[in-house]
Chain A
Amino acid sequence: MSETLIRPRIEARPLGERLAEKLPLLLVPLLMLGGLIVTGSPSTWATLTVAGLAMGLMIFIMASGLTLVFGLMDIINFGHGAFVAVGAFIGFTVLTWLSGWTGHPSVLMNLAAMLIAVTVTMLATGLIGYGFEKVIIKPVYGQHLKQILVTMGGMIIAQQLIHVVWGPDALHLSRPLALQGSWVIGDAAIEKYRIVAVGVGLALFVAMRHVLKHTKVGLLVRAGVENGEMVEALGYRIRRLFLVVFMVGSALAGLGGVMWGLYQETITAHMGSEIMVLVFIVVIIGGLGSVEGCFIGALLVGLLANYTAFAAPKVALVSTIGLMVVVLMWRPQGLYPVVKAK
């Protein structure tokens, strides 16, 4: 082939377009700056910011699996909240069994109890996810209306099963001893558990990015989100990938359930469906299928919810929906949509 005929050339995109792509990254610091102006007090701002980041990152844990399931499998899973609630109750059971460890003065014992609870929860919700995909999701691939109906039905069944197994009452889920209380830095009180939640959320984000960017499975997931049919035409069984992603998404929802339960210190069978409103908002803000978008969306939602709860409590309830409306007016497919090519 003559190179002169096809002299390679990438047409440079306009500067404005390239900058616009980076703009969502500025939203989080801009919101934090806005929060500082609104609160007017650095210590209050620090407390609210850490609370917002913790809340956002816990929502990210729950939403990251859902956005991949949305993007890769084209599944609208309204039953995702069931895994959050079931995860919280399984975590509660494990932590109750290990109450001797959680109440022990040793930080290591406390963390070991947390680790065991989280591991058991993720394994259990991952396995439940396997059954959920096989029994409930598989028959309705490509049928969105039926997906909504059957996954909501699945969530209602899960809530009733929680009532059967754990009873109808709200349960108190106490944090391990080492994660109770706050650190006081200057005038700011920072809850220890929130720092842990931030750490877990950031670690998960870094791990997910690493897997998605630097492993073949990650490449397949990213390619599958964009064009699953072509992945199959290359010789890969995307159905297996679907199943694995669904199980991972369910396990992450379970992890989010434990984290959220420990954050609220109260768990109910309906906690999953309640938090799902915020989870869906985050997924929509971020753009379907995008882990990065989901991360930014979760931070925005968490921070905004905390700042508005402080500055204008009556507005707090609608602030996240308002944020979603504004983002969608700016970018109708979300901040970083991955599935736009479908």
Chain B
Amino acid sequence: MAEPLLTLDGVHTHIGPYHILQGVSLTVPQGGVSVLLGRNGAGKTTTLRTIMGLWRASRGEVRFDGRDITQLDTPSIARAGIAYVPENMGIFTDLTVAENMALAATSGPIDAKRLSWVQDLFPPIRNFWNSSAGTLSGGQKQMLAVSRAIIEPRRLILIDEPTKGLAPAIIVAMTDALRQLKETETTILLVEQNFAMASSLGDTVAVMDDGRIVHAGGMATLVADAGLQERLMGLSLEAHQ
């Protein structure tokens, strides 16, 4: 069996007086989409931020590609090959789309072929190249956020609720784009509340509750077991559709 790309082993994270992650152990295999599910406040966003070093793990270990990255700072983690699309998208609204993309290309000028591929994936990036990012719609901003994450090849992309607040048509389009992205060698760790979308993309799934992983396994298993869905998340895939 191939070495997992990312492992979290007994990770605890405190934010001020609050003990958010309480021993998270998670494995993300190479390639494909791993989904992190759970109700609001379960600790999904904190898990992603802890992986990125934005909040420091107080205990436990985070390993990426066989290397301990627990104590690395955020820029070092990013340069190790992990891209992050935060829940609030993190778009620089004062900058143009082109400037946002230029900043995301950390190793030098943007590769034209790669840019063309990204723009085919997300046409608004081409159409509004010189527009201020602040004037884009919510869906277009989300596309820009994901485009920024993939403008250079990354080993792992952490995406936090990319469909939150988007119109159904945009959700379909975003799902389609992530499916195409999945076909490349990029590994995605996706936090998502939309179970229908998550189940259509995910290969593996972990469910969080109260700062712990309460279930981990194949997505197909969870999709096929309405009782398990009900027990873990309080509702089933059928109820979502």
Contacts and interface: CB of A to CB of B under 8 A. Distances in A.
B84 interface: yes
B235 interface: no
Contacts of A219: 95, 99, 102-103
B94 interface: yes
For the side of the interface on A, what is the size category? 20 to 34
Contacts of B92: 222-223, 226-227, 230
A229 B94 contact: no
Interface string B171-204: 0110011001000000000000000000000000
A29 interface: no
B121 interface: yes
B78 A222 contact: no
A314 interface: no
Interface centre among A9, A10, A234 (most CB of B within 10 A): A234
A237 B103 contact: no
A72 to B, nearest CB: 12
B123 A1 contact: yes
Interface centre among A6, A219, A232 (most CB of B within 10 A): A6
Interface string A77-99: 00000000000000000000000
Given A11-B137, A219-B95, A232-B74, A6 B128 contact: no
A337 B121 CA distance: 34
Interface string B114-141: 0000001111100110010001110110
A223 B103 contact: yes
B173 A1 contact: yes
B221 interface: no
Interface residues of B, number: 41
Contact of A230 (B73, B90, B120, B180): B90
B104 A234 contact: yes
B135 to A, nearest CB: 5
A234 B148 contact: yes
Interface string B86-109: 100010111100010011101000
Nearest to A232: B74
Contact of A10 (B103, B104, B136, B177): B136
Nearest to B180: A1
Nearest to B131: A10
Contacts of A165: none
Interface in A1-24: 1-3, 5-6, 8-11, 13
B198 to A, nearest CB: 18
Given A8-B128, A231-B103, A226 B74 contact: no
Contacts of B137: 9-11
B150 interface: no
Nearest to A3: B123
B1 interface: no
Given A232-B74, A235-B78, A236-B106, A223 B95 contact: yes
A316 interface: no
B67 interface: no
Interface string A214-232: 0010011011011101111
B66 interface: no
Contact of A1 (B99, B103, B121): B121
Contacts of A227: 90, 92
A209 B147 CA distance: 28
B135 A13 contact: yes
A9 B170 CA distance: 12
B135 A6 contact: no
Contact of A232 (B75, B123, B169, B180): B75
- Top 7 A-B residue pairs of the complex, sorted by shortest distance between their CB atoms: A230-B90, A235-B78, A8-B124, A232-B74, A6-B173, A235-B106, A5-B173
Given A226-B94, A229-B74, A237-B73, 17 more contacts: A1-B177, A2-B176, A8-B124, A10-B136, A219-B103, A222-B95, A223-B94, A223-B103, A226-B92, A227-B90, A230-B86, A230-B92, A232-B73, A233-B84, A234-B103, A236-B106, A341-B93
30 contacts: A1-B120, A1-B123, A2-B173, A3-B123, A5-B169, A5-B173, A6-B123, A6-B124, A6-B139, A6-B140, A6-B170, A6-B173, A8-B124, A9-B137, A10-B128, A10-B136, A13-B135, A219-B103, A226-B92, A226-B95, A230-B92, A231-B103, A232-B54, A232-B75, A233-B86, A233-B90, A234-B103, A235-B75, A236-B75, A237-B73
